[in-house]
């Protein structure tokens, strides 16, 4: 998985530092919006967005989103209608936003949008191969966690279908019980999934570039991003997680 994703991402993304800030700010927003499921602690947040003013601005926006989504989500859970699926639409606000960040020249944005669309098509192809749905938030987060994990352990463990199934089985109940997630409509779930997948691909690409350039700073940035993504989705740092024939095991020490 890691090599295929790296090649696809490297062919699509070229990130300057300002663009990387935009993307990690969106990681902050998306993780915090997930309430009890993906809400970051202050240490993890500072690792992504070090400027306190920026962190406070994101926090304020997120709290407003939580206040909007949680009551609706609680009603959905109480009615027994919790789900992780969504009806996908052809358009994508996330791809448009990422294209705008990657191409400062408006004339280049259609090309960036097309390239990102190609990258998402690669994600859909790989998901199908692993038996995952691209219209199920649990499956999308499992894909993100798997790609992050395989990269963080430097290919020492190649994720297979059973590993993806174990991740999905771990993630889905948490989503079903989370009022913020259950308060989201179809478009918001699609944006969450696409954003996390693209951020994962950014992290994989930066990890590969860091290795080629022997850049310790870039390597650390990539590991921080992928480690943050993995821990937010799974609820434990990757160092405490291993995959066995019986499923996912989290060390609790």
To the nearest 10 degrees (0 to 180), the angle between helices 137-152 and 161-176 is 130
- pLDDT tens digits along 37-77: 333 333 334 444 445 566 677 677 778 888 899 999 999 99
Q: Which residues contact 87 (CB under 8 A, 6 or more apart)?
A: 135, 186
Which H or E run contains 84?
none
Taking the CA atoms of the chain, what radius of gyration do you get in angstroms?
17
DSSP string, 27-80: HHHHHHHTTTTTPPPHHHHHHH---HHHHHHHHHHHHHHHHHHHHHHHHHHHTT
C-alpha–C-alpha distance, residues 145 and 148, integer Å: 5
Highest mean pLDDT among 19-23, 27-31, 46-50, 169-173: 169-173
- How many Cα neighbours within 13 Å face the side chain of 150? 23
Stated pTM of the model: 0.79
- pLDDT tens digits along 108-164: 888 878 877 877 888 898 899 889 999 999 999 999 999 999 999 977 788 889 999
- Residue 78's pLDDT is 98
Q: Where are the domains of the chain?
A: 2-81+104-250
As a whole-number percent, the residues of the chain with pLDDT over 90 amount to 30
DSSP string, 120-171: HHHHHHHHHHTT--TTBHHHHHHHHHHHHHHHHTTTSS---HHHHHHHHHHH
- pLDDT tens digits along 191-243: 888 888 888 887 887 787 777 778 888 888 888 888 988 988 898 999 999 99
What value does the mean pLDDT of the chain take?
Answer: 78
- Residue 2's pLDDT is 54
């Amino acid at each position: 998985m890691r090599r295929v994703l790296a090649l696809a991402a490297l062919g699509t993304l070229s990130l300057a530092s300002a663009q990387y800030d935009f993307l990690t700010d969106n990681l902050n927003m998306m993780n915090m919006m997930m309430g009890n499921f993906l809400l970051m602690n202050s240490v993890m947040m500072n690792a992504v967005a070090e400027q306190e003013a920026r962190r406070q601005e994101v926090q304020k926006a997120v709290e407003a989103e939580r206040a909007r989504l949680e009551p609706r989500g609680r009603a959905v859970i109480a009615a027994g209608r919790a789900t992780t699926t969504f009806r996908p639409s052809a358009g994508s606000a996330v791809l448009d936003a990422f294209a705008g960040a990657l191409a400062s020249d408006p004339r280049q944005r259609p090309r960036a949008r097309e390239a990102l669309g190609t990258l998402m098509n690669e994600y859909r192809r790989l998901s199908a191969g692993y038996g995952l749905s691209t219209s199920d938030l649990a499956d999308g987060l499992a894909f993100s966690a798997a790609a992050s994990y395989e990269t963080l352990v430097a290919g020492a463990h190649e994720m297979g279908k059973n590993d993806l199934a174990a991740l999905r089985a771990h993630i889905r109940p948490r989503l079903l019980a989370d009022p913020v997630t259950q308060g989201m409509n179809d478009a918001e779930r699609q944006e969450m999934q696409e954003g996390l997948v693209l951020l994962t691909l950014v992290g994989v690409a930066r990890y590969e570039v860091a290795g080629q350039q022997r850049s310790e700073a870039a390597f650390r940035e990539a590991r921080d991003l992928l480690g943050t993504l993995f821990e937010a989705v799974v609820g434990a740092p990757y160092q405490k997680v291993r995959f066995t024939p019986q499923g996912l095991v989290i060390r609790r020490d």
